[in-house]
Amino acid sequence: MKFSDIKKSAEDEWHALQQGNVPLIVIGAATCGRSAGALGVKKTFEEEFQNRGIQAEIVEVGCLGPCYAEPLVNIIKPGGPNILYKNVTGKIAVELVENYIVNDNPLPEYALGTLGDSKVDGIPVLMETPFFKSQARELFRNSGFIDPTNINHYIANGGYSGLAKALEMEPAKVVEEIKASGLRGRGGGGFPTGMKWEFCFNAPGDEKYVICNADEGDPGAFMDRSLLESDPHALIEGMTIAGYTIGAGKGYIYCRAEYPLAVKRLRNAIAQSKEKGFLGENILGGKFNFDLEVFLGAGAFVCGEETALIASIEGGRGMPRHRPPFPAQSGLRGKPTLLNNVKTYSYVPKIINRGADWFAGIGTEKSKGTAVFALTGKVTNCGLIEVPMGISLREIIYDIGGGVSDGGEFKAVQTGGPSGGCLPASHLDTPIDYDSLRAAGSIMGSGGMVVMDQGTCMVDVARYFLDFTQKETCGECVPCRLGTKQMLNILEEITEGKGKPEDVDQLVEMGEAIKKASLCGLGQTAPNPVLTTIRYFREEYDAHIQNRSCPALLCKELISFRIIPEKCTGCMICARACPTDAITGEKKQVHVIDQSKCIRCGVCLEKCPKNFLAVECIAGQLSEGEQ
């Protein structure tokens, strides 16, 4: 079948669904929606419709981004508006069927917004609400709208048009187009994608490979998972275009085994793509053959490094090797290999389809296009966001994210995961682009953005990331293997109240050395969280070391609990709850905590009734007998 015919029939199916004569219920059912209860809500709708004898269509889609409002449900009545409902529970689902589907009250109190041109009294237009207004959803354009298990939905929304167009171009022309777009690798490093493609294109050899790094391992990042679950065909199309361009016949998607739904969706999408003739032999009736395989990662963070990932696909320990030769010359099985991240490949079909100028028109001079972040931590509106490059951290955290959650005070924002850094309030106006973030000591990374408030201890955060990298170091090179261990030991001592005055200088010296001397990106960036917290939050290190006190009230050895005599009514509740019998005092007498017995578990603070609030947690160590 010709592509235009495939497209026509896909569009017919899509329009029939959107403008059908029965109500359409669209449920966000990516992993995040599911953990918030989306599948239970779906079941409730099904049961309600069955009991009431209502004909309706229910479709599962991927993730729209506002995770704080999951589960999300769109309802489109025939000829009616498209309304998105937030935090839908079984109870709300029943109410929606009764009030809105059966009668005509759209229950604005449960709505997040309207989509498309629809306007309903009392419900804002979704794309004009603060969470969406400053976003530019290009990569995630389909996410949350199309059924990721139905290839026709993707095709009807412009899918595979990029491939059809690319197949009519000379491969060299495709390389030019990617170069002109200014696309840079979205895995973290930010290497110009077009140059990488050009190296592979120019590399001699009949056998070449295309690999996608979908081994998203940064703690605090989930955008690749979301994209794979919500719009898997974008990656497949991007990789197929890459295969055509560099002359590869086989591609691998190296995906985390911890993402079972993403793997399932990918495998399903590959099968559908083959069936339609977009993958396999004689793609779209031409001479180009290309096959894709999903390879399950077995859990090793270092496999995010390209040579380590290749070693893993070859069946070995995922350990990096010296470069050069770069994979573009000698990669998988010694053949030229193109390796990019999920997001990088997923941009490609859109760039080919809409032209390099379109992409280059978004963003800043050196960082083109959009940036995707998993906005999490102590922020009101957690979620997955896509913004134009160049937007400030402040706009992301305060406008889109709605500020710090629970009335907290902003302390720091962490980008780039274990390879990135923590930036303080004075850097909130830093624009989001590769170079500005690097100059501030952090990196763009794969897109985790974690907001921290006064209750986050920066020394503990540094210790947390070092603990992670130290566990994940592959052990090949000495600076990374031993250096991270030594740094971790020092950080542990500081958080346990055993810090020494020379510790901070030693951390800086070791950190700089590890950055310079490590073999791969893991070691070269591992000290970043420590170095940035020292650079911007030195006073917290000093408080831990010199005053033996944790200002964030988190490090157990550096805090104390005390009972405020004026507020204690002697109710015995805390004394009974204390696991170490550290609290003494008779009924109706003021209680006292024996500091030598106290293990600072905080149970007394939790148990003290809200109308007394007689227990407080303070920074520093109270000595025995001190109150």
Partner 1 sequence: MEEQLNAILSSYEKRRDNLIPILQQVQEEFGYLPEDAMLKVARAIGMPESRVYAVATFYTMFRFTPMGKNRITICRGTACHVRGATRILEEVEQKLGIKEGETSEDLEYTLETAACIGCCALAPCIMINDDVQAKLTPKKVEEFFGKEKKHEVQ
The neighbour count for residue 157, using CB atoms within 10 Å, is: 17
Pick 307 or 414: Cβ nearer partner 1? 414
Distance CA 203, CA 147 (A): 39
Q: Decide if residue 318 touches partner 1 (CB under 8 A).
A: yes
The neighbour count for residue 333, using CB atoms within 10 Å, is: 11
> Six-digit token pair at 596?
């030598």
Q: Using an 8 Å Cβ cutoff, are 488 and 466 in contact?
A: yes
In the list 14, 68, 145, 244, the residue contacting partner 1 (rule: CB under 8 A) is 68
Distance CA 389, CA 559 (A): 41
Pick 369 or 418: Cβ nearer partner 1? 418
Instruction: Find the length of the chain.
Output: 627
Taking CB under 8 A as the criterion, which residues in 321-380 touch partner 1? 374-378
In the list 363, 448, 483, 499, the residue contacting partner 1 (rule: CB under 8 A) is 448
* Residue 522 beta carbon to partner 1: minimum distance, rounded to whole angstroms: 13
Angle 478-495/458-472 helices, nearest 10 degrees? 150
Residue with tokens 């957690």: 382
Distance CA 208, CA 206 (A): 6
Between 221 and 240, how does the x/- string for binding to partner 1 read (CB under 8 A)? xx--x---------------
Task: Work out the burial of residue 438: count CB atoms within 10 Å of its CB; fewer than 13 is exposed, 13-18 middle, 19 or more buried.
Answer: middle
Pick 288 or 301: Cβ nearer partner 1? 301
Task: Work out the burial of residue 533: count CB atoms within 10 Å of its CB; fewer than 13 is exposed, 13-18 middle, 19 or more buried.
Answer: buried
* Residue 257 beta carbon to partner 1: minimum distance, rounded to whole angstroms: 6
Q: Decide if residue 414 touches partner 1 (CB under 8 A).
A: yes
In the list 312, 329, 370, 560, the residue contacting partner 1 (rule: CB under 8 A) is 312
Distance CA 219, CA 447 (A): 10
In the list 78, 316, 334, 609, the residue contacting partner 1 (rule: CB under 8 A) is 316
Q: Decide if residue 315 touches partner 1 (CB under 8 A).
A: yes
Q: Decide if residue 34 touches partner 1 (CB under 8 A).
A: yes
Pick 218 or 386: Cβ nearer partner 1? 218
In the list 6, 61, 64, 67, the residue contacting partner 1 (rule: CB under 8 A) is 67
Start-to-end CA span in the chain (Å): 83
Pick 240 or 495: Cβ nearer partner 1? 495
* Residue 464 beta carbon to partner 1: minimum distance, rounded to whole angstroms: 5
Distance CA 580, CA 601 (A): 10
Taking CB under 8 A as the criterion, which residues in 453-512 touch partner 1? 456, 461, 464-465, 468, 472, 474
Between 289 and 308, how does the x/- string for binding to partner 1 read (CB under 8 A)? ------xx-xxxx-------
**Ordered DSSP codes for 556-593:** GGGEEEEE-TTT-----HHHHH-TT--EE--TTS--EE
Angle 232-246/193-202 helices, nearest 10 degrees? 40
Does residue 190 sit in helix, strand or coil? coil
Taking CB under 8 A as the criterion, which residues in 244-273 touch partner 1? 257-260
Q: Decide if residue 208 touches partner 1 (CB under 8 A).
A: no
Q: Decide if residue 528 touches partner 1 (CB under 8 A).
A: no
Distance CA 313, CA 333 (A): 9
In the list 175, 236, 382, 615, the residue contacting partner 1 (rule: CB under 8 A) is 382
Pick 222 or 359: Cβ nearer partner 1? 222
Q: Decide if residue 215 touches partner 1 (CB under 8 A).
A: no
Pick 352 or 462: Cβ nearer partner 1? 462
Classify the C-alpha dihedral 294-295-301-307 as positive or negative: negative
- Tell me how many residues contact partner 1 (CB under 8 A): 54
* Cα 236 to Cα 148, 327, 410, 413, distances in angstroms: 12, 21, 40, 33
Q: Decide if residue 71 touches partner 1 (CB under 8 A).
A: no
Between 150 and 189, how does the x/- string for binding to partner 1 read (CB under 8 A)? ----------------------------------------
Q: Decide if residue 609 touches partner 1 (CB under 8 A).
A: no
Q: Please report, as ranges, the residues that interact with partner 1 according to CB under 8 A.
A: 31-32, 34-36, 67-68, 70, 216-222, 225, 257-260, 295-296, 298-301, 312-319, 374-378, 382-384, 414, 417, 448, 450, 452, 456, 461, 464-465, 468, 472, 474
